[in-house]
Structure 1
């Protein structure tokens, strides 16, 4: 009897909820064989309807008989699971907007899904948001998953979430939180005393990228040294390649371009046999960047590397990463004395960023301004440089912003505008933590610090997890 009463209550409750959700009255459910009073008795749990009545009611409220009877709709569950699977496929294929929509439709019915499927959909949605440049939404979802009691510290899932959260904070410009998340996670891993896996090493190399972007090269190098030893012991090509990759970032930040190039070439060799399209893509754009840093004239190889990287990023990369490739194409065009090509590429980078990531957007605009100067379009170049300044004013005083302020100043100076250059150099000094200068050493025009070679912007490179520090370098 108790079971029968529970069944009656469940049917009645579900019928009432669905009826009200559809904006129907009890009268709307009546028919020749079904009165208002009988509908009321069913909803109050005082009657168990027959199969025929259940079928009629299910059609009226838009559900299956199974759902009214048990609260579980297997057909609906399968439909929602297919939406999650479609979201996974869309994410792999770079259709990030479609992925967000599919995951969202599934998550709107989360109570019908198993917890593992819900977590999968939330992670997929977070990754899609990240690729679309919607970093705040991505951070919110990554944080919810990372802090969930079901996420066990030290596991593969935990390490991957820590990497994703650290990366998203860094790409959003929050260097403090990116370092804090990575450092806290690595210390927790140390306390657990577990043997390091590739995922744990990936967490460490992510933190290296954070340190580089923050300008803490000492901590970055210490972590490189530590992880190099761990990776050699593990024997994993992926682990060793990832450490080489990020060791190159440190070398490049110190102006050791040839060493950075050699380390990146080694990372490419170690990771060449993996199926991680994204990692190989960002490694290739880094390699092209370092070749430009080292004043290589092997333009065919640089173009080949960038073309391969662009194809990979269009498939699996974020808008942020795609913009980085386009910016390096613009830099190559400037090196080849093809300013119109540089304008096209820089414009694509700016469009991909959608006014997000101010330092990266400013970088692309500095490339654009240099191309305009090269074409003699003085007025347009000046307007673009003012837009650079507006972008940079959105940034807090930090190393990444200081690098772009300085490089923008170099563009002014190289194109005959020492007063404008001096103002930007002052900004760069402030961002780097130095007190403003009160005298103008450029009162008499002096040669460019880059031997007369028009400076464009700091070359953008990406770390093993997809980070994008802005090291200081002469890019052209």
Structure 2
């Protein structure tokens, strides 16, 4: 009863506002079926008009029935749905700022939207934030979507959100949370007893990458083997490509570069027919790095692959991914003794990354310091290494930061600064979980002196 009265009040108020705006009186709204007194009762909220009367009144005041009923014109809803579609298209074209703005306008609107459209806008906004490197708000929004009762566990959307959450935690350097989210999602999928799908395989492949980044290569290898078998049996070419891609990263982390090259070549072949520019570009970047780091490096081939990756990531990649490729190009330029070019690539990588400490930024600054030192500018090189140490000190311990500490130690050694090199090597060992023995006073016990 209350809802009917509330709806009648809204209809009556909007009817009266439009009538006065059009310069009409109640007599102008009357007809054979609608008396003047009935119009008055409707406007005061004492009567709820039937669908037939509602159509007649809407026609006379020049609006849609939907507007009289809800206060929102169907045209507005269609315009907002178009904005969501524009946001989706902008994301595919790499216009992430435009996509974020479009999704934001939709979500800021008071107009009622179908649940599916609203979900697309919320997910699109979260993914746009991720691509722009704004990981904290992206994680916050993805978590809200993941925990939303309307997001059905095991559905394609649920799996997509779980993968994105793993990826965001991984990119932010929180390897523990990236693995935890991935493990819980995989366990949930297993408990549902569903057939293995491409989404299932994609989630597992992401978890393999998270294990690898954390340094848990044994578990990464076991999951990769399980996924490879499932992907070969049931997965699409893209799903199989994702598995081989992450298996290649495990092989690389174990120092098996030739195996990693073979797996990456297979992944590229499988993904060649897909229209996912971003994935193809990232794979080319991975392949270029492997070619550069192999025992018999083909620097010209590596350069071609990294250039192709850069063009694709400019179109469809995130800022972090573009920075990752610029760092690879800086490393290549150092191999080719083009130190000014290397410094320019490292500078571009730093410009693409957020100001807060990130291991990717620290790695790019190490490359900048190396290029400066080899190019005859030891003063700026030393300053940049000090900056890197400060950044790494504010990051949590992980395999990724341990790797950068190792590179810092190598550079201090090149600079003939043995004390700084030893300190950096110790920090590298600590970051990968290897700690030295200590006396009661905290001093490290050297072999033969205890």
TM-score tier by shorter-chain length is: 0.7 to 0.9
| Counterpart for residue 383 of structure 2 | 383
Alpha-carbon displacement from aligned partner over 1:54-109 (angstroms, at most 9, x marks no partner):
89999xxxx97852454331111111111111111111111111111111111122
- Mean CA deviation greater in 87-96 or 151-160: 151-160
Distance across 2 between alignment mates of 1:44 and 1:144: 41
Shift of 1:15: 8.1
User: What are the within-5 Å matches in structure 2 for residues 79-228 of structure 1?
Assistant: 79-109=79-109, 111-228=111-228
Distance 1:42 1:394, change over 3 A: farther
Shift of 1:415: 2.5
Contact preservation (8 Å) 1:358, 1:394: no
Q: Confirm whether residue 280 of structure 1 aligns to residue 280 of structure 2.
A: yes
1:194 is paired with a residue whose SS is coil
Distance across 1 between alignment mates of 2:188 and 2:264: 30
1:275 is paired with a residue whose SS is coil
Gapped runs of 5+ residues in structure 2? 27-39, 438-442
Relative contact order: is structure 1 or structure 2 higher (C-alpha 8 Å, sep ≥ 6)? Answer: 1
Distance 1:200 1:5, change over 3 A: closer
Q: Confirm whether residue 415 of structure 1 aligns to residue 444 of structure 2.
A: no
TM-score computed with the length of structure 2 as normaliser = 0.86
Contact preservation (8 Å) 1:162, 1:185: yes
Contact preservation (8 Å) 1:323, 1:349: yes
2:45 is paired with a residue whose SS is coil
TM-score computed with the length of structure 1 as normaliser = 0.81
Q: Confirm whether residue 373 of structure 1 aligns to residue 379 of structure 2.
A: no
| Counterpart for residue 258 of structure 1 | 258
Distance across 2 between alignment mates of 1:153 and 1:263: 31
Shift of 1:111: 4.5
2:280 is paired with a residue whose SS is helix
Distance across 2 between alignment mates of 1:390 and 1:294: 32
Shift of 1:144: 1.8
Matched length: 423
Distance 1:2 1:243, change over 3 A: closer
2:424 is paired with a residue whose SS is helix
Distance across 2 between alignment mates of 1:2 and 1:387: 65
| Counterpart for residue 241 of structure 2 | 241
- Mean CA deviation greater in 242-251 or 327-336: 242-251
Alpha-carbon displacement from aligned partner over 1:159-191 (angstroms, at most 9, x marks no partner):
111111111111111111111110011111111
- Runs (4+) of structure 1 exceeding 3 A deviation are 1-8, 12-16, 28-34, 40-44, 46-58, 63-66, 436-441
Contact preservation (8 Å) 2:357, 2:395: no
Distance across 2 between alignment mates of 1:237 and 1:52: 57
Distance across 2 between alignment mates of 1:256 and 1:110: 56
| Counterpart for residue 333 of structure 1 | 333
Distance across 2 between alignment mates of 1:338 and 1:433: 36
Distance across 1 between alignment mates of 2:263 and 2:70: 61
